[in-house]
Structure 1
Amino acid sequence: MHTYKDIILGDFKQLRPSSNCTLHLPEDYEALQKSKWYAAYNVHFLMEFDDGIKWLIRVRQNQGHRLPSQITEPVIQSEVATLQVLRDYGIPVPEAYLPGYMRLKGERNETTLDYFFLSFMEGTPMDIPRSGHLGEITLPDDQLQHFIEEYAKTEIQLRNLRLPFKKIGCIYPAEHDGMLVGPIVSRGSFMNPTPPYFMGPFDTLKDMYLAKIDSALRYISLNALQGQNPVDAYLWHLELRELVSHSKVLCEVPEQLFIKHDDKKGDEMMVNSEGKVIGVIDWEWAYVTTESDAFSTPWLFNRTLTYVREGSNSLTHPEELLVQQYETMGYSDLADCVRDGRLYLRLDRIGYYDSAYKKSGFREVFGDDVPSDLTPPEHDVDWRVFSMKRYQKDEGLKDVMNRFGWTLERAEEEAERMH
């Protein structure tokens, strides 16, 4: 009887038939958790060949239960296809191959693992210290400037790619040859509860964000999203839906599309002993999108109390440095992506309602596209009353309010008590 080790090594042997391989396994699960090979969504196992070449097996964590193959296989196919496209364009990323059961017709997965093969990339993940979960980057000035320069170089490499794709979505291998853009694989609520699980591709960002919002609304109506107040979450997403629907920027059909790394925390950049970026890893959830979306600055740059609690959309100090760096390097378009990027960062919160976030910050990023009569009160209890009245004809809202025991009268009474 073949073990999983035999099956997986035999699978990879088809890719490197001339070399013998040693698979390094930890002593136990506790040792794996403490190792550098363990991450939130994936674990990795090192394969070392007799010619000195190293590869990794990247295995999706099951989080207590194994997901359907209609979810796990597109996620893996998209990450591998994205890495292959990036390598073809000369971007320093790992080499990647699908497992045999996805690569070869007639093969089936003889394990209960969801995995693929990834070349080992030398270097150390870049560490970006912060003053707290909601705090500024605390690198000394010289190290901060170095980080900005290295980050800008990696973004410029991606900006200079000229991709053939015309729709917003994830990259997949085509049935016969080449690559195509298909549905977006994503975290959170941006998927259907039944097959087909993933949505897209999309012609515009407006289409994509409306699909995200509608998906979140469906899950909120079932009380299936995290949070304490599903009615407020539903109202907030209805407001976002109105804002997105009126946005002129989001309805533009893009002429050129770019690959967005959708999990930028800093540690995706592998650096050498001199702190130079030598590669970028973790391309799960990457997708093809507009330049403004792809090169807006991520949560890494903006995780501050003023952004969350005060609704501030002002540039942080690292962002100001990044704007200057792009301008110095002759990429004013990327500088504009940073200046205007709050819109996309705010919309990343779709599906994650949190009353700690000041709501005015989400309206502000839509600029002149905000409907003139969308002027709710500042305090949440008054905003709730305003929103219930504004969206009172929405059938989904009626059902949610009824299900969770809310009426307009109750909301008005609570607002009066708070004052």
Structure 2
Amino acid sequence: MYTQDPDYASYPDITRRADKEQLEQLTTLLKSADLSAQANSLRPGHTSNILIPTDTRDYLKGGMNVILPLTFDDGVKWVARVRQKRFDEPPVEKRKILVASEVESLRVMKEAGLQVPAVYFSSDQAPDLNYYFLDFVGGTPAAAPLTEHDNPSQIPTIIRSFAQFQIALSELTFPFIGSLHPSPSGGGERIVGPLCDRYIKQGRLFQHKPVLSYLAHLEIKEMVVNFDGWGEEDVFYLKHADDKGDHLMIDPKGNITNVIDWEWAYITSKAEAFAAPCAFSSVVEYCDQGRATLCDLEHLLMKDYQDLGRPDLADCVKEGKKYQFLNDLVGEEPQMVLMDGLRETFSKERKKFAMEQEWEEWAKKVFSEDQGLKDLLKKA
């Protein structure tokens, strides 16, 4: 029998209060940092003014960052993208690595002529802050997901424009899988460094569902390792890590003007890099039903790739559903519906468990000899 937490109704207020306190702390740091002076040093001969809200409700922010508008004396506009102060933020050294990697990804794409904002960065960061500057870009963000876009007539143009961007991105290749980082020597050379590790059995992730989370990842690992359709690759590609739709800035006709929010971007296989973005998935078919078949927008993207002379990228969309499920399951909380969808993409039977407990008991039997599971059960 389950009962509701008596303080449940107060959770939204607690969250809002915590968010306000974190933004107040950030405001204090920003006012003492003098970001305008640093922007001026990156654009010699000009002075700038940055707008820091006095009311925390006026911040333009996403899940991880705030955006501060900055205007120079000649009318040129930048924005400062500043990492929020959050209770779950990684250590300061890791935050520096994340920012440097995002900056390097943007620089590489801009040098290749891709539609991304120009980036300006100094490693001499103000204490306790992580940030960089970008050209202000016009346009409005598309909907996340695209199926909820408020002007459906723009959707075909958005998808065609996205296909053109991805084709241009496919010209940018790398020799390894990983994340882009600047050269430690400070030279112009870029390096492909490691991705972040995640830990479950050590108790660093999923502390309230450690056993089920570990079992889910064991099953995912088994499917991936035993799949014989991966193929051999020696060329790799850059992928956006948060492609839910609002990373696409569009003009009134639906043409993409810029692609933004490249935090956590990584280099991966062609098949994963050019699978359809989650922005094009149907919420009902994918999230609610875990369907492994392509939806209408994904079929439209395939057709655009074919019409633009890239049937190879159309094939990536056709076979790419497994990457969407893997992206939403690996390193995340276990989800029964999505797990069934992943099983289907690997030609496995959908289990259709009614309860998580039923799933957990089944998986315990399947992986009963796994030493990590035995160790975890001793701690549970």
**TM-score scaled by length of structure 2:** 0.83
Query: Where do residues 74-113 of structure 1 align in structure 2 (5 Å cutoff)?
Result: 74-101=97-124, 109-113=125-129
Give the equivalent residue in structure 2 for 1:241.
221
Q: Is the 8 A contact 1:128 1:139 kept in 2?
A: no
Structure 1 position 351 matched with structure 2 position 351 = no
Q: 1:339 to 1:376 in 2, by over 3 A?
A: closer
Give the equivalent residue in structure 2 for 1:412.
none
Structure 2 Cα separation of the partners of residues 64 and 366 of structure 1: 37
Q: Choose the corresponding residue for 1:330, options 299, 306, 309.
A: 309
Identity, % of aligned positions:
31
Q: Is the 8 A contact 1:99 1:117 kept in 2?
A: no
Spell out, residue by residue over 1:148-206, the C-alpha distance to the aligned partner (whole angstroms, 9 max, x if none). Answer: 212212212212x243x21111111112222111022xxxxxxxxxxxxx35xxxxxxx
Q: 1:129 to 1:110 in 2, by over 3 A?
A: closer
Q: Return 5+ residue gaps in structure 2 as ranges.
A: 1-28
Given residue 57 of structure 2, which amino acid in structure 1 is its aligned partner?
Answer: E
Give the equivalent residue in structure 1 for 2:182.
173
Structure 1 position 225 matched with structure 2 position 206 = yes
Give the equivalent residue in structure 2 for 1:17.
44
Q: Is the 8 A contact 2:143 2:246 kept in 1?
A: yes
Structure 1 position 114 matched with structure 2 position 130 = yes
How many angstroms does 1:264 deviate by? Answer: 1.0
Structure 1 Cα separation of the partners of residues 145 and 212 of structure 2: 34
Spell out, residue by residue over 1:309-366, the C-alpha distance to the aligned partner (whole angstroms, 9 max, x if none). Answer: 5432111011111111111111111111111011111111112233441533222222
Structure 1 position 387 matched with structure 2 position 363 = yes
Q: Is the 8 A contact 1:127 1:266 kept in 2?
A: yes
Query: Where do residues 176-325 of structure 1 align in structure 2 (5 Å cutoff)?
Result: 176-184=187-195, 198-199=196-197, 215-218=198-201, 222=203, 224-225=205-206, 229-250=209-230, 252-325=231-304
Give the equivalent residue in structure 2 for 1:31.
58
Q: Choose the corresponding residue for 1:144, options 155, 175, 184.
A: 155
Structure 1 Cα separation of the partners of residues 152 and 140 of structure 2: 21
Q: Is the 8 A contact 1:12 1:99 kept in 2?
A: no
SS at match of 1:14: helix
Structure 1 Cα separation of the partners of residues 152 and 50 of structure 2: 43
Give the equivalent residue in structure 2 for 1:124.
140
SS at match of 1:357: helix
Structure 2 Cα separation of the partners of residues 119 and 387 of structure 1: 50
How many angstroms does 1:308 deviate by? Answer: 3.8
Structure 2 Cα separation of the partners of residues 347 and 90 of structure 1: 31
Q: Is the 8 A contact 2:201 2:214 kept in 1?
A: no
Q: Is the 8 A contact 1:129 1:139 kept in 2?
A: no
SS at match of 1:218: coil
Given residue 76 of structure 2, which amino acid in structure 1 is its aligned partner?
Answer: I
How many angstroms does 1:143 deviate by? Answer: 2.8
Q: Is the 8 A contact 1:60 1:115 kept in 2?
A: yes
Q: Is the 8 A contact 2:142 2:149 kept in 1?
A: no
How many angstroms does 1:66 deviate by? Answer: 6.0
SS at match of 1:91: coil
Q: Return 5+ residue gaps in structure 1 as ranges.
A: 102-108, 131-135, 185-197, 200-214, 405-419
Q: 1:309 to 1:100 in 2, by over 3 A?
A: closer
Query: Where do residues 352-371 of structure 1 align in structure 2 (5 Å cutoff)?
Result: 352-357=332-337, 359-367=339-347
